[in-house]
Structure 1
Amino acid sequence: MPQKRILVVCMSLLALTASAVTGEAAPLPSTAQSVAADGQHDFDWEIGTWRSQVRVLANPLSEAPDEWLEFTGTTVVRPLMDRRANVVEFDVKGPTGRIEALNLRLYEPQADRWSLTFVNMRDGLLAPAVYGGFSDGVGEFYGDDQLDGRPIKVRFRIVRQGPDKARFEQAFSEDGGATWETNWIVVDRRI
């Protein structure tokens, strides 16, 4: 059922939830280094309202022929807690329906990384988080999830294409990250 697969893609996508991480955190950098190396302001450029053009692969990681569904709408990004967090309000519509979602992004200073957690407003469920950060203007975030009961890897990529344009892509892997299939593409333009 394409609607269910779209829901799974959407839930895994926009932000990929915040699951607990075990292990010891890296030590905090010295105060002098924190200001220069701290990633807590990595998303400052995105604060504001954006026009979103969305393409979603109807049946990711399947033998079905590729069918891309299209949606348009808005994305509003609001800062929280001195910009150490932000919330993304996502509302798009297309011929196959509407996607309303939230993405909660939290900066983890001990690990110098962000967690992105997606919430589908239709059912209120959190998707497993993806974790990562930015390097040379490209954000890459990785996590684990399930699709139709099978374990998959999730990659979420953000490419800033100037002050008023950005591209977001989600991809799934069913072979541990050896190969990836892109299933979600969003191009945002600042309004």
Structure 2
Amino acid sequence: MSIAALHSDSRTMTVPYRRLLIAGLSALTLIATAASGIASTPPPAGGQQDFDWEIGTWRSTVRVLAEPLSDSPDQWLQFAGTSTVKPLLDRRANTVELEVSGANGSIDALNLRLYEPQAKRWSLTFVNIRDGLLTPAVYGGFHNGAGEFFGDDQLGGHPIKVRFLISRPSPDEARFEQAFSPDGGTTWETNWLAVDRRTRR
């Protein structure tokens, strides 16, 4: 997830999370991540149990870059709260409910993840709670315990690539990172960093 700013088409805030939503923060709009067409990224091997480890409630700390892909000095906004992951459809789908807040406002977001058995990949789609709209998904899966998801989007009217990464430093800790690329994936700028620590299953 990630948090872009001042643009209705911008995405920001990750676990991730595109336009996730900062309630009461009119200058910022959350970004979920990415659209479909990612021909340059081969579908990774995967399985419907890939997210089983995440089911439960987590304590989340989130850092969001206020103005991604801009000439403005880096300004990181900080939030803390909870992330709750619930299984659906025999764990072929799950939802993430993110509720965090900080000095700059709050983020209330929903992430819907669906497993595609034919393609052996997951799609991650974010919902802007403020307007109730689904955003384009990012696609990918897990290799050796690390998740990589890619997609296409726009920021400020310009096409960008979106990358979303998931890693697990320990069984009860998870890291989520979102980055944008304005040059087709040659260079990346991270704009969303979230660390979750398990509170209960």
- Which TM-score band applies after superposition, normalised by the shorter structure? 0.7 to 0.9
Asked whether 1:68 is paired with 2:76, we answer yes
Q: Is the 8 A contact 2:35 2:152 kept in 1?
A: no
1:16 matched to 2:19? The reply is no
From 79, 89, 102, the equivalent of 2:87 is: 79
Q: Which residue of 2 aligns with 1:120?
A: 128
Q: Distance in 1 between matches of 2:152 and 2:91?
A: 26
> Secondary structure of 1:82's partner?
helix
Asked if 1:4 corresponds to 2:6, the answer is: yes
The number of equivalent residue pairs is 177
Structure 2 partner of 1:148: 156
Residue aligning to 1:34: none
Moved over 2 A (4+): 2-8, 12-22
Q: Identity rate of aligned residues, in percent?
A: 67
Report what 1:139 is aligned to.
Answer: 147
User: Comparing 153-162 with 13-22, which one deviates more in the overlay?
Assistant: 13-22
Larger fraction in helix? 1
Q: What RMSD in Å do the two structures reach over aligned CA positions? A: 2.3
1:19, CA displacement in angstroms?
A: 4.5
Provide Cα deviations, 1:55-113, integer angstroms capped at 9, x if missing partner.
Answer: 00000000001000000010000000000000000111011111100000000000000
Q: Which moved more, 1:116-125 or 1:70-79?
A: 116-125
Report the CA distance between 1:15 and its aligned residue: 5.1
Q: Aligned partners of 1:100 and 1:17: how far apart in 2?
A: 19
CA distance in 1 between counterparts of 2:54 and 2:80 reads 18
Alignment partner, residue 113 of structure 2: 105
Following the alignment from structure 1 to structure 2, what is the Cα–Cα distance between the partners of residues 38 and 166? 19
Equivalent in the alignment of 1:52? 60
Partner of 1:8: helix, strand, or coil?
A: coil
Question: 2: distance between equivalents of 1:108 and 1:20?
Answer: 15
Supply the distance in 2 between the matched residues of 1:77 and 1:144 (Cα, whole angstroms).
25
1:157-176 to 2 correspondence within 5 Å? 157-176=165-184
- Greater strand proportion: 2
Distance in 1 (CA, whole Å) between partners of 2:164 and 2:114 is 15
**Distance in 2 (alpha carbons) for counterparts of 1:181 and 1:5:** 18
Residue by residue over 1:164-190, the C-alpha shift from the partner in whole angstroms, topping out at 9 and shown as x without a partner, is: 100000000000000000000000000
SS at match of 2:12: helix
CA deviations on 1:109-153 (whole Å, 9 max, x unpaired) are: 000000000111012222210000000111000000111111100
Contact 1:5 1:59 in 2 (8 A): no
Residue 131 to residue 114, structure 1, CA distance change in 2 (3 Å): same
Distance of aligned partners of 1:115 and 1:165 in 2 relative to their CA distance in 1, 3 Å threshold: same
- Structure 1 length as normaliser, TM-score? 0.85
> C-alpha deviations, 1:23-56, integer Å up to 9, x for none?
xxx9xxxxxxxxxx75110000000000000000
Could you tell me how far apart the structure 2 residues matched to 1:12 and 1:45 are?
26
